[in-house]
Amino acid sequence: MFNKTVLDNGIRILSKEMPDTRSVSLGIWVENGSRHEARHQNGISHFIEHLFFKGTEQRSASRIAEEMDSVGGVLNAFTAKEYTCYYAKVLDENLPLAVDLLTDIFLHSVFDREEIERERSVILQEISQAEDTPDDYVHDLFSLDFFPDHPLGRPICGEAATVQNLHREDFLNFVRARYLPGRVIVVAAGHLGHDYLVKEMEQRLGTIQNSKLNIQNSESSAPRLQSGIFQHAKPLEQVHLCFGVAAIHQSHPMRYAAYILNTILGGGMSSRLFQEIREKRGKVYSVYSFLSSYRDVGYLGIYAGTSLDWAEEVVELILREMKRLGAGEIGQEELERTRNQLIGNMILGLESSDSWMSHITKDEIYFGKAISLEEITQGIRSVSRSDVVELAASILRPEAMALTLLGDVEKKKLELSGAFEG
C-alpha cells in the first residue's frame, strides 16, 4: 500500500506500510545533484551531503553518530546526478529518533569552518582514491567523453580544483537556492503509520519556505552526446574499457524493452557478453552491460577489463554481440528466460524496507507516482521479441558509439577505428 500527502509548502510525504517487518527506512530526498551545478561548483552537492553530518546547533558530529549507533541503526547519505538522499534505517521503535536526527541535520547543520576544512581534505582523498581505482575511474572518464561540457558528464565528487575553491558562503547560498520545498521528498517504508509520518514532518518541515535566490545551471538542457574513441594513458596492468551508446531516458515508453535488451547483452552470468568473452574465451575477469538513465537522456553502457594484448579482440567480440542483437538474433526461449530473470531480481531486490524507500522515491521523481510490482511485472511480460529487436536495431550502431579506454595505451597502438564503421 502506497500513501502520499503534499504539505502546504509543497514537500511530498510518501510511505509504504510493511506491517510484517520490524525495520523502518526513512529518507529525506532532494531533487538536486551534480547535474544542477555550474562548472565552477562541481562537487558542491556532494560536499554539502558530507557537511550535513558534521554538527548541528544541538548536536556535535560525534553525538550524531553515537545516537544512531546506540540503537544499532544506520545513518547515511549519497549524492547522485539528479538527487541527493539523507536516510536512516532503524527498528520500528526507534523511528522517533530517526525522524529527530534526520530533520535536525537537514534544518540545523551549522557548516562549521573547521569542519569544512577537515571534510575538504576527506573529499580530496576520496577523489584521489577514485582515480586510483581504474574500474571505477573509467566510468568517470567515459562520462566526460560522452557528455562533453555538460554537468551530467562531470564527476559527482567534483575535481580537486573546484573542491578547493568552495567556501562556507557557497554552501549556504546553494542550500538556500536549491533545497526548496518543491524539491524535497520525505519517504518511509517499513513498520510505520503514514499519519504519524505526516504529523511529524508537518511540525518539523512544514514551515520551510521558498527562497528568492536562484543558481543558474544547465539542468533544463539535454546534453550533446559525443561518439568516437577516447584513449587515456595510465600505467596499469589492464586496459579498462567503457562503451556507451544513446538509449532511453527514465520514463521512456520502451524502458521495459531496454531492460530486457541490457540483461540479454550483459546483465548477469548467463548473459551473452559474460558467456562469450569470459567463460568461453577467458579474455576478461569482469564484463557487464548497464543502463544509465536520467530525466531526458540515457545510454546503454558496457564495461570490460582485459590485458593490453587482448583489448582489440575484446572490443571486436563486444561489437559482434551488439551487431547480432541489432540483426534480430534473439530467440523466444532466451526472451522468456530474461523476463523471468528480471522479475525475479526485482522481487528479491525489494524484500527490504530500504530498497522500497529508494524505489518509491525514484518513481515519484521520474513518474510522479509509485509504480506497483504488478505494473512493472506486466510491463516486462508484455515486451515482445519484435520490441527488443526494434530497439536493438535503432541504438546498437557502432558509428554512434563512444569508447573510452584507460590503461597503458602508449605502450601499444590499438587499431580500433575500423571496428566502429557502420
At the top level of CATH, the class of 228-420 is alpha beta
Report DSSP letters for 124-186, one per residue. HHHHHHHHT-HHHHHHHHHHHHHSTTSGGGS-TT--HHHHHT--HHHHHHHHHHHS-GGGEEE
The pLDDT of residue 220: 61
The pLDDT of residue 218: 45
**Marked catalytic residue, from 31, 37, 49, 67:** 49
SS3 label, residue 347: helix
* Residues 361 and 27 sit within 8 Å (Cβ to Cβ): yes
The dihedral over CA atoms of 268, 133, 163, 88, expressed in degrees to the nearest 10, equals: 50
CA 62 – CA 68 distance, rounded (Å):
10
User: Does the pLDDT value for residue 183 go beyond 80?
Assistant: yes
Domain 2-205 sits in CATH at 3.30.830.10
Q: Percent of the chain, pLDDT > 90?
A: 91
CA 392 – CA 242 distance, rounded (Å):
19
Q: Where are the domains of the chain?
A: 2-205, 228-420
Which residues, in sequence order, are CB contacts of 336 under 8 Å at separation 6+?
Answer: none
Mean pLDDT across the stretch 189-213? 91
**HSE (side-chain half, CA atoms, 13 Å) at 104:** 20
CA 266 – CA 268 distance, rounded (Å):
6
The pLDDT of residue 211: 66
Of the candidates 153, 181, 163, the one whose C-alpha atom is nearest the C-alpha of residue 51 is: 163
**HSE (side-chain half, CA atoms, 13 Å) at 266:** 21
Mean pLDDT across the stretch 362-379? 96
* Residues 86 and 77 sit within 8 Å (Cβ to Cβ): yes
User: Does 114 qualify as catalytic in the annotation?
Assistant: no
The pLDDT of residue 418: 60
Q: Which residues pair with 238 in a beta bridge?
A: 307
Mean pLDDT across the stretch 156-183? 96
Model confidence band, residue 420 (pLDDT cutoffs 50, 70, 90)? low
Mean pLDDT across the stretch 240-265? 97
The pLDDT of residue 1: 78
User: Does the pLDDT value for residue 299 go beyond 60?
Assistant: yes
Model confidence band, residue 17 (pLDDT cutoffs 50, 70, 90)? very high
CA 17 – CA 356 distance, rounded (Å):
10
The pLDDT of residue 216: 52
Mean pLDDT across the stretch 350-370? 96
Of the candidates 313, 278, 282, the one whose C-alpha atom is nearest the C-alpha of residue 412 is: 313
Asked, colleague to colleague, whether 2-205 and 228-420 share their fold, the answer is yes
User: Which residue in this structure is represented by grid cell 567523453?
Assistant: 145
